[in-house]
Amino acid sequence: MKLEHYARLSAEEKDALDALTQVRTRRVRSRDDIIREGDAPSVINVVLEGWACRYKTLEDGRRQIIAYLLPGDVCDFSAPVLREMDHSVGAITTVTLAEIAVESVGHLFATYPRLTQALCWDALTSVSIQREWTVNVGQRTAFERLGHLLCELFVRQRLLGLTRGGVCDLPLTQAEIADTIGLSVVHVNRTLQDLRSAGLISLGGRELTIHRLEALQRAVLFNPSYLHLGHEGRHLDAPPPNP
């Protein structure tokens, strides 16, 4: 479903993908690891349901969350090529994974070149997001960083049809948010208050509401071009109503 944003796929191509993802699935409980640094996974894991994150830990315990994986995202792109994982992937919520054999992927792409293109697009977009995160942590203020993260997670979910008006899931603890944008938990909390009292968002009970997306985007210098939404990515859910 997600790849459809990147290239029109034929019914046949979609069937081939579906067949792949149904072969073998795995369930990982919330907060457990999906893959650990140093593993050399022999299958490719794709998130079918739930949220996961990539993260790296320094020797002294500091942790940085490097990416969030939503349904349709691939956990271990590098598996077939690089020797071993240089970071871990953990489950945020309970996650359902498809485990895909490396060989079957090779065959699939040889048969359907348009799939290759779609997957390339996907991979390049995730690199682009990674770059934007570097900018986020390197240049923005706490307020901007946090707002930017919320914008991104909202828009990505909207692409997947997972938003309800201006509302979406946000199953992260403040500690996880802190490790994502390089702030302390305390300051994340302070900054959330700021965003709330600016009337831009509501957040609580694992649910985020963005009251005025346009205004928030402007306030935190969020420019979605790095998500490469392109043409196809716009018609999924109406933008949030102006309250």
Partner DNA sequence: AGCGATCATTAACATGGGTTAAGTCGCAGG
Partner DNA sequence: CCTGCGACTTAACCCATGTTAATGATCGCT
131 binds a second copy (CB under 8 A): yes
Residue 236 partner contact from DNA, a second copy, none using kind-dependent CB cut-offs of 5 to 8 Å: none
Angle separating helix axes 113-139 and 102-111, nearest 10 degrees: 120
Return the range that interacts with DNA (CB under 7 A); candidates 13-21, 43-51, 167-175, 232-240: 167-175
Among 183, 200, 201, 208, binds DNA (CB under 7 A): 183
Among 4, 16, 49, 66, binds a second copy (CB under 8 A): 66
Tokens found for residue 102: 């490396």
Distance (Å, whole) CA 180 – CA 146: 9
Among 48, 101, 105, 137, binds a second copy (CB under 8 A): 137
Q: Among residues 35, 38, 56, 59, which one has the least CA distance to residue 47?
A: 35
In the β-sheet with 25-28, what is the strand arrangement from edge to edge? Answer: 25-28, 95-101, 43-49
Among 11, 29, 59, 235, binds a second copy (CB under 8 A): 59
Q: Quick one: 84 or 207, whose CB is closer to a second copy?
A: 84
DSSP assignment of 52-81: EEEEEE-TTS-EEEEEEE-TT-BS-TTTTT
Residue 192 partner contact from DNA, a second copy, none using kind-dependent CB cut-offs of 5 to 8 Å: DNA
3-state helix, strand, coil in the chain (%, to 5): 45, 20, 35
Angle separating helix axes 142-159 and 174-181, nearest 10 degrees: 110
186 binds DNA (CB under 7 A): yes
User: Residues touching a second copy: how many (CB under 8 A)?
Assistant: 43
> Which residues are at the interface with a second copy (CB under 8 A)?
54, 56, 58-60, 62-64, 66-67, 77-78, 81-83, 86-87, 117, 120-121, 124-125, 127-128, 130-135, 137-140, 179-182, 221, 225-226, 228, 230
